Structure 1
Amino acid sequence: MLGCAAEFGANAGAGGELPAIASRQRSEKKSFTDGEIVDGFLKTAFGAEYHLAGRVDRIRKFDTPVRVFAESDGRADRKAQLAKVVADIARRVQHLDIAMTDDAEAANVRVKLVRDRDLYRTISTFYGAEKAREIRSSLDPQCLSGFRKNEKFEIEHSDVILTVDNGDFVFLDCAYEELLQSLGPINDTASVPWTMFNDNVSMGFFDVYDQYILNLLYDPRIKAGMTLPEVRNVLPEVLADVRTWVKQVNNLAE
């Protein structure tokens, strides 16, 4: 999926009934070694596919409840699909408090639902014409997410832009990828074949491998601002607990 996740500023899920998603779920790889999980986590939680300011060698995550507000001129069906995506993420990430809100002022994640023809105009409105040109020339995304963090590397606000008129699969694929990346694992990688944070991979649902990544990130022992050595020090015990949770929530066999 040609999505873009960017860090801005210094300081059966929802579509299991779709054939394209159902076929991917049937063939999904669900068994991974510790090394495979840790490799993907470190590659996505550190770094940034496209960043404009600030350091990218620290863990970045929300340290508060996450409230998602959807802004759209229409397409109530897309808002409903987005709400299902958010509910699915909430169910599968143990220590993440995330939910929709109808109060724009209470939201720290804003999702802008736009027509495809309005995508780059919307990106320009959010980030300025020059940055929009840079994003278009380097990434040419179909959807976009970005966040800003404070000096403690805590995410304070995220913006997600999704197109509503490219079909159900593209919408759901973008919604999962960009919402999840807006929570912290912002670095796309082509070297991990099981993650949706790979521009060569399209899922349309919250796969088991990425559940491992998000559950590791939002475990309370993994804190915003941690360095790579600090994270490696606590990962073994965190991963053991995360394995238990992901197995339980997905009814995985031993």
Structure 2
Amino acid sequence: MGRNFLRLCTATLSAAGAVTLTACTAPQPPASVVPPNRPGGLAKAVQPVVTPRSAQSSDLQDYYIRIQDDLLVQGLLRTDGGGPDTPFSPEDLVRNFENIAFFDEYTRGGGLRAGGASGGLNRWSQPVRISAEFGSSVPLDQRRRDQAAINEYASRLSRVTGHSITGVRSGGNFHVFVAGDDDNEQLLRRLNQLVPDISRVELGLFRHLPRSFYCMVVAVSSAQDPHNYSRAIALIRAEHPDLVRLSCIHEEIAQGLGLPNDSAAARPSIFNDDNEFALLTRHDELLLKLLYDPRLKQGMTADEARPIALAIAHELMGMEL
């Protein structure tokens, strides 16, 4: 959409979401010129099939719209990244890093039970290739917006971390599913294809995700190194309105890079269940810089990492120890 067609057609988006072509008149060739034959094998691109949403999915969509509206009225879901009202020190940053990077939000193997134990530092060694897949119920314009947002976010994360992170059309190792309630069986089939040894507990999370859970991510370590991620799968509910959906994309992909926990003390941050901030903040970028700094090693404990992280935090924030 929006690209010129034969340099005379422009595409505009109506309020109803339909594409309307304006000023669309193709130039006619002179009488003496014979247009070339269409090369063989060039078939028209097949548009993906979009299935209508069920009443249950539509009700869920209405519910999440009301949630977003209520949060916005309260001044939450900020997109400014923080400011003078949200100061933090290097010590604050390291404390938040320790709580977010070294603890899991949920107990491993325990389903949705909160309170994961402390562990070693986890992150990716190999390049991260983020591929997006969409459920059949997701409208095409929403797919285009979300794909663009994921690709743009991947580029930002690569710049922040210094690690190779890119959006790809296929063959990714970080799979982001944008799917609705109606796409459940489609999602489960893809999960079994991508991760044949996925546990029943993890599969059950995707199958019966409570309405209170907006989105989720599961990161899988390599068999050779439990602190080295080799694959991740994120689920973003397609029923969310645009801002909440984008918020989920920001949080789940960042968590899948190695920041799995939330902290009530983290501010300004998306790694806080208070919903004050919708999108990755400057504070969160510094957490990612810490995570992927080569001076911190995979498998380090919080005690081992603390003095190194503090020195790095002072460097990043330009303050003297």
**TM-score, normalized by length of structure 1?**
0.75
Structure 2 segments unaligned to the other structure (5+ residues) = 1-74, 110-115, 192-197
Task: Indicate the residue corresponding to 2:147 in structure 1.
Answer: 79
Q: Which has the higher helix share?
A: 1
CA contact (8 A) 1:95 1:220 kept: no
CA contact (8 A) 1:30 1:208 kept: no
Number of positions where the alignment pairs a residue of Structure 1 with one of Structure 2: 225
- Change beyond 3 A, Cα 1:128–1:152: closer
Matches within 5 A, 1:64-103: 64-72=126-134, 73=136, 74=140, 75-91=143-159, 93-103=160-170
- Give deviations 1:11-66, integer Å, cap 9, x for gaps: xxxxxxxxx89954175456311121111100000111124259751000001221
- Change beyond 3 A, Cα 1:122–1:183: same
Matches within 5 A, 1:143-182: 143-150=215-222, 151-182=225-256
CA contact (8 A) 1:57 1:227 kept: yes
CA contact (8 A) 2:120 2:298 kept: yes
Percentage of pairs with the same residue: 23
Task: Indicate the residue corresponding to 2:103 in structure 1.
Answer: 47
User: What's the C-alpha RMSD, in Å, of the aligned pairs?
Assistant: 3.3
- Give deviations 1:228-254, integer Å, cap 9, x for gaps: 12101312322233325xx9xxxxxxx
- Give deviations 1:151-171, integer Å, cap 9, x for gaps: 341111111111233211011
Give the whole-Å Cα distance in 1 for the aligned partners of 2:190 and 2:296. Answer: 34
Give the whole-Å Cα distance in 1 for the aligned partners of 2:211 and 2:80. Answer: 27
**TM-score, normalized by length of structure 2?**
0.61
SS of the residue corresponding to residue 25 of structure 1 reads coil
Give the whole-Å Cα distance in 1 for the aligned partners of 2:91 and 2:153. Answer: 28
Task: Indicate the residue corresponding to 1:251 in structure 2.
Answer: none
Identify the structure with bigger relative contact order (alpha carbons < 8 Å, sequence gap 6+).
1
Shift of 1:68: 0.7
SS of the residue corresponding to residue 295 of structure 2 reads coil
SS of the residue corresponding to residue 165 of structure 1 reads coil
Task: For 2:244, give the aligned amino acid.
Answer: V
Task: For 2:145, give the aligned amino acid.
Answer: D
SS of the residue corresponding to residue 161 of structure 1 reads strand
Matches within 5 A, 1:11-26: 24-25=79-80
